[in-house]
Amino acid sequence: MDTYLIRKLLLMKKYLLLLLLLGVLLACSEKAQETQSEAYIPELVITDSLVIDNLTQLALIDVREDYSEFLFYDWKIDELLRVSATGEILASANLSEDGKDSFKTRYFATADYSGEDEILITTHAGVFIYDLDFILKEEKPIDFSLVTRTMGGSNAAEVYKDYLYTFSVQNDEEEKLFNSDEYSTAYPFLTIRDLNSLEIIKSGYIPEQSLMATNPGEFLSLDPIVRFTEGEIFALFPNSPELYVYDLPTLELKSFIDLGPDDHFKKIKPLNKDINFDGFFKSLASSQYTNYAFSNGYLITQYEGAAPQDEVDALPKDIVGGTEFEALVKKYKEKQFYQIFKGGEKLWEGSWDVNLMSVRNLLYSNAKPGEDPDAVEKDMQTFYFYELK
C-alpha cells in the first residue's frame, strides 16, 4: 500500500472519529434540553373554600398550623373574629375601644394564635395576651419597637412555638439608629425572643448578600416575610430577590436561594431623607416581593410590577396618592408575577389572573382566577384555598 493511500485512510479515520464525537455531544445536548423542557410544572388548583356569613370583606390575619381555625379582622368595624374551618364565627370582639379588654390603641401590628388557647396581639404600646373569647389575660410592656410600616397583619412579629420573632429595635437605641446614614445595615433587626419573658435570645443583621446591605440606607419596606419550619426560619426581604434560610433559634445563616426574577423585577434604591415622599416614588418605580409559600414540595414566590421611571418622574412630587399616582399603581403595581421553584431550581415564571396571599404557607384568595372580588356587593365572604399540584 503506497504512502498516499495510507495517509488518506488515516485522515478518513480522523474525520469519522470527529463525526462520532460531534454526534455524541449533540445527543447529550438534545437530552439536556429535553429534560429541561419536559420538567413538570405544577398547576395552581383550588383545593377548598371557606364561606363566612359576614357583610363586609375580612382580612385573614393568622391561622392555626393545622388549618382548623382562622383569625380574621374586619377593618370597617374594627373587630377580630375567630372562624372555624366550616365558616362558623366562634367569637368576635372590638378590642380597640375603651374597656378592660382593650389593647389601648386604635391599631394593632400583629395578632397570632399562641399555643392551644391564647391569642397574642402586638401593638406599639405592648404585648396583650387574650383567651379564645378575647378576654384579656395579661398585658406585657415592651422595650422595643417593631420596624414596619404595616398595621393589622405586619410581617414584623410572629409567634412560633415558644418563640416570638420580631423585626425590631430596642427603644433606647432607636434615635441613634434613625440618624444613621446606613440605616439598613446599622442594627441587628432580626430578633428571636423568649415568648414568655420577651427577652432576646438571639439577634442578627440583614444578610450581607442582600440589596439593602450592598446598597445601604433607608427603605420604605424593610421587614422580611418569614416562614417557620422545625428548626429553621425563612426570610424574604421585599426589595431583595433572595430567600434566606436561618437556623432557629441561633439565626445562623445556613443558605440562601437566588430567586433570579426576570426583567419585570426592578431593583430599588435607598430613599433620600431630604426629599419629601421620596420613598413612595422610589417604591412606585421598583418591584417588591409580597408573598411566598411552600406547597407540596414546591416554593411559590410573588412580586409586584414597577412603573416606568419616566412616568414616575413626570408625576407631581408634592403629593402622594393623587389621581395620577394611583393610576400608575393600578396600571403597574397591581400586576403580580409568580415564580415556581423545586429544590432551588426555578421551573416557571409568569402571571396568573388571580391575586394570591398566604399566611403560614396557606395560599388563598378572595376570588377564583378571572373573577373580580369587588364586582358585586356580597352578603357572604368566600375565601378560596390554593395548592401547587
Please report which helix (H) or strand (E) contains residue 229, including its range.
Answer: strand 225-229
Beta bridge partners of residue 138, listed in sequence order: 129
* Number of compact structural domains in the chain: 1
Q: How far apart are CA 205 and CA 191, in angstroms?
A: 9
Distances (CA, A) of 337 to 328, 353, 383: 17, 10, 21
% helix, strand, coil for the chain, step of 5: 20, 35, 45
Quick check: is 267 in a domain?
A: yes
Question: What is the predicted pLDDT for the residue at 106?
Answer: 86
Cell numbers standing for residue 70: 382562622
When pLDDT is cut at 50, 70 and 90, the band that residue 98 belongs to is confident
Q: For residues 226, 229, 231 and 237, what is the CA-based torsion angle, rounded to 10 degrees? A: -20
Quick check: is 293 in a domain?
A: yes
The radius of gyration of the chain's CA atoms, rounded to the nearest angstrom, is 26
Question: What is the predicted pLDDT for the residue at 33?
Answer: 34
**Per-residue pLDDT tens for 185-231?**
999 999 999 999 999 999 999 999 999 999 999 999 999 999 999 99
When pLDDT is cut at 50, 70 and 90, the band that residue 15 belongs to is very low
Quick check: is 356 in a domain?
A: yes
Do 294 and 227 meet the contact criterion of CB atoms below 8 Å apart?
yes
Quick check: is 141 in a domain?
A: no
**Per-residue pLDDT tens for 131-157?**
999 999 999 999 999 999 999 999 999
Handedness of CA 369, 375, 376, 379 (dihedral sign): positive
Quick check: is 96 in a domain?
A: no
Quick check: is 88 in a domain?
A: no
Question: What is the predicted pLDDT for the residue at 30?
Answer: 37
Quick check: is 188 in a domain?
A: no
Which residues have a Cβ under 8 Å from the Cβ of 257 and sit 6 or more positions away?
A: 242, 243, 245, 299, 341, 344
> Pick the residue with more confidence: 24 or 373?
373
Q: How far apart are CA 200 and CA 192, in angstroms?
A: 6
Q: How crowded is the C-beta side of 295, counted as CA atoms within 13 Å?
A: 27
When pLDDT is cut at 50, 70 and 90, the band that residue 122 belongs to is very high
Backbone angles phi, psi at 115, to 5 degrees: 70, -155
Average of per-residue pLDDT across 249-256: 97
Domain that holds residue 340: 260-364
Quick check: is 288 in a domain?
A: yes
Place of cell 412580586: 303
When pLDDT is cut at 50, 70 and 90, the band that residue 38 belongs to is low
When pLDDT is cut at 50, 70 and 90, the band that residue 36 belongs to is very low
Do 386 and 363 meet the contact criterion of CB atoms below 8 Å apart?
yes
Q: How far apart are CA 386 and CA 335, in angstroms?
A: 19
Cell numbers standing for residue 205: 443583621
When pLDDT is cut at 50, 70 and 90, the band that residue 375 belongs to is confident
